[in-house]
Structure 1
Amino acid sequence: MTQQQLMVNATIAHGLDVIGDRWALLILRDAFLGCTRFEAFRQQSGISKATLTRRLDALIAEGVLQKKAYAANRYDYVLSQKGKRLFASSLLAWQWENQWCKQEPTYPLPPKLEHVNCQHTLEPEAVCSHCNLPIKLNQIQLPLQALNASQQIDAMQSLTKQRRVRSTEKPVAVNESLATISDLIGDRWTLLTLICAFFGVKRYDDFLLHLHIATNILTQRLNHLVEVKVLERKPYQENPVRMEYLLTEKGRSLFTIVMSLRQWVCMEYQVTSELIEPAHKPCGRPLRIEIQCKHCKTAATTKDVTFL
């Protein structure tokens, strides 16, 4: 199987590594909420100065943010057009966090968005761009090649070797909104475990086989996903008792977010069209996700959405 025949190749893996990092996701969150200054980003997320500098530099190098001077040695960090095209994915993340996670941060996410085009409260909806039907995980047909999860995971593990560790330490008095989703898709092992689950992996030994992961790390990630109700344990054998890990509705709803981020990478990094794609069963076409307003059925962009 060539790199082009994978759903996730090295280029996609690199792109996901840049924008899927926990701190990068929180920086992008704050950028969409209007932050532009270094200290504002730092105070909102509780990130250290050194880490914030590295993440800003990485996002600038990838063309997601732009650095603009407003005084001597003072800069604004603003979204580029490339960065603004992540807005659709951020809307899905906002909706997921508001729907599934109890909001008790110091600075919560806006509870409502207004779609200026139709002057209604925005409910972002992920639909197939071909048939306009809502995207559901059970209506996605994975190509036969993609069912070999180990090769997909090998590609994901070809990411840069920077080590990511899910932090259990929460800074005091910082904006924790979107922290749940950033912990899920911003931690490499958690994301890989989720992708395995999307591919139909259910049992501990199969996760271990596909991920080539230390048992203590896998146990920690699976326990975390069960704790936040993304996965649930169910017995499939009684003597001895054996458990399998199944996606909950909350877990299945993460699929469109992960796939929309993948789609953004494919477009922005001009990934070859030979890359295999999952199909949308209702229309039989390759999966193309469009985020639209559920009320007026038009695309939602940064220009026509107001945070309330």
Structure 2
Amino acid sequence: MKWTTLEEEQCSVARTVAVIGDRWSLLILRDCFLRVRRFDDFQARLGITRHLLSDRLKKFVRYGVLRRVPYQDSPKRYEYILTQRGLELYPVIMAIVHWGDIHMADERGRPLLHEHKLCGKLFDPVMVCSECNEPLSAKDVHVRPGPGSTAERQVLPQSQLRQAG
């Protein structure tokens, strides 16, 4: 695999990494979910160079994760708003937040708490089966080739393919 052609791989992880797979992209997404929208605000919060920030924002717009919306005419300035595609990255970001809260928090504890607006309770994100709503862990899942798989590159080692079939 080459870093520059990840988006062409027959692997959903590789294709996603092509869009969000670097530290600046993940931190920009974090800030988007914290409702940061303007270039100068991203730059001030992140300490990222203008060139890198511009590059990452253009990439997110190109992939349909953000849309660029003018908020000022003279001079022309834009906000970056999460699209539906971008909003669907929320579980990914929350999974990273949760892992960090468990494994990387210091003695002071979690830096941010997440409250569900509907019930008013603090929560931890959990992954559940879309069919039965039971919690999922890696041990609870079997993987098998899907319709997007090709014969040239099998998703699983042959020993696991026999077990999945």
- Same topology, TM > 0.5: yes
| Closer, same or farther: CA 270–205 of 1 in aligned 2, 3 Å | closer
Instruction: Show the counterpart of 1:148.
Output: none
For residue 233 of structure 1, give the secondary structure of its aligned residue in structure 2: strand
> Aligned pair 1:253/2:114, yes or no?
no
Tell whether the 8 Å contact from 2:19 to 2:59 is kept in structure 1 after alignment.
no
Distance in structure 1 (CA, Å) of the matches to 2:9 and 2:84 = 29
Paired letter, 1:300: L
> Aligned pair 1:287/2:123, yes or no?
yes
> Aligned pair 1:189/2:24, yes or no?
yes
Tell whether the 8 Å contact from 1:235 to 1:241 is kept in structure 2 after alignment.
yes
TM-score by length of 1: 0.42
Tell whether the 8 Å contact from 1:184 to 1:191 is kept in structure 2 after alignment.
no
- List gaps (5 residues or longer) in structure 1: 1-45, 48-166
Distance in structure 2 (CA, Å) of the matches to 1:213 and 1:184 = 18
Tell whether the 8 Å contact from 2:129 to 2:136 is kept in structure 1 after alignment.
yes
Task: Give me the identity figure in percent.
Answer: 33
- List gaps (5 residues or longer) in structure 2: 145-165
Count of residue correspondences: 142
Instruction: Show the counterpart of 2:12.
Output: 177
Distance in structure 1 (CA, Å) of the matches to 2:82 and 2:9 = 30
| Closer, same or farther: CA 303–205 of 1 in aligned 2, 3 Å | closer
Instruction: Show the counterpart of 1:216.
Output: 51
Deviation at 1:258, TM superposition (A): 1.3
> Aligned pair 1:298/2:121, yes or no?
no
Deviation at 1:271, TM superposition (A): 5.1
CA RMSD of aligned residues (A): 2.4
Distance in structure 1 (CA, Å) of the matches to 2:127 and 2:21 = 21
Identify which of structures 1 and 2 has the higher relative contact order when contacts are C-alpha pairs closer than 8 Å and 6+ apart.
Answer: 1
Bigger fraction of residues in strand: 1
Tell whether the 8 Å contact from 1:231 to 1:245 is kept in structure 2 after alignment.
yes
Deviation at 1:299, TM superposition (A): 1.4
